[in-house]
């Protein structure tokens, strides 16, 4: 009988894309244990043209990925609202948020906003204050500087809880 290899912690980055502020949060998951590593946001100047803001987001995320070296990434899916132009611009930021980890060879999972809220809080329509309260319980050492960084940590937690089923879906799909 051979012993199974001991699995170490998995470093995960969660990314909450936005043109004004793209939140990021890095955790380590080891079984059911979650460990806070770091969080913050990339904030390009508002007066830059869209292309330069997207470049700034990419460069900021690339620096975070280089510094913290996660092995898995999760990005929040775009919430479609009534303003089509704003939704399209947010989609461009989301594309950059998915491209940056992919360029580092990191697989990227996607989660709907309601799934993130349900995973972290237990209700799909939770408020930001409820997410912040649960983060204090799940990651007591975390002190996110913004709601975007808190959301990014919630996305990383969601991935930690759902990563096995996400990997299985990708394997079945042949990806």
| Tokens linked to 119 | 């995973």
Pairing of strands 72-76, 33-42: unpaired
Hey, is 16 helix, strand or coil? strand
Catalytic, out of 28, 72, 148, 151: 148
Determine the pLDDT at residue 168: 52
- With tokens 């972290």, the residue in question is 120
Ligand-binding site membership of 110 (annotated)? no
Active site residue 83: no
Instruction: State yes or no: pLDDT of 149 exceeds 60.
Output: yes
* Other CB atoms within 10 Å distance of the CB of residue 35: 14
CA dihedral 104, 110, 114, 117 (to 10 degrees): -40
For the domain 10-173, what is the CATH superfamily, name and number?
Ribonuclease H-like superfamily/Ribonuclease H (3.30.420.10)
Active site residue 16: yes
d(CA 76, CA 131) in angstroms, rounded, equals 15
| Tokens linked to 8 | 């170490």
pLDDT, tens digit (0-9, with 9 covering 90-100), for 16-26: 999 999 999 99
Q: Provide the edge-to-edge strand list for the sheet that holds 107-111.
A: 33-42, 22-30, 10-16, 72-76, 107-111
List Cα–Cα distances, 134 to 6, 18, 93, 146, 173, in angstroms: 30, 23, 27, 15, 34
pTM above 0.85, yes or no: yes
Q: Write out the E strands in the chain.
A: 10-16, 22-30, 33-42, 72-76, 107-111
Instruction: State yes or no: pLDDT of 167 exceeds 60.
Output: no
pLDDT, tens digit (0-9, with 9 covering 90-100), for 74-117: 999 876 667 777 788 888 999 999 999 999 999 999 999 999 99
Determine the pLDDT at residue 45: 94
Ligand-binding site membership of 76 (annotated)? yes
């Amino acid at each position: 009988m051979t012993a199974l290899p001991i699995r170490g912690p998995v470093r995960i980055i969660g990314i909450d894309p936005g043109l004004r502020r793209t939140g990021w949060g890095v955790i380590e998951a080891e079984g059911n244990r979650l460990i806070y590593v770091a969080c913050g946001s990339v904030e390009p100047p508002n007066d830059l043209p869209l292309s330069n803001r997207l470049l700034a987001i990419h460069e900021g995320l690339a620096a975070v990925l280089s510094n913290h070296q996660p092995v898995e990434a999760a990005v929040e899916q775009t919430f479609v609202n009534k303003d089509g132009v704003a939704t399209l611009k947010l989609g461009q930021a989301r594309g950059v948020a998915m491209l940056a980890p992919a360029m580092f060879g990191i697989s990227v999972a996607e989660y709907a906003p309601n799934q993130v809220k349900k995973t972290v809080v237990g209700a799909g329509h939770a408020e930001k204050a409820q997410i912040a309260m649960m983060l204090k319980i799940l990651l007591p050492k975390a002190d996110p500087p913004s709601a975007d960084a808190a959301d990014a940590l919630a996305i990383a937690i969601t991935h930690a809880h759902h990563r096995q089923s996400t990997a299985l879906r990708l394997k079945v799909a042949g990806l």
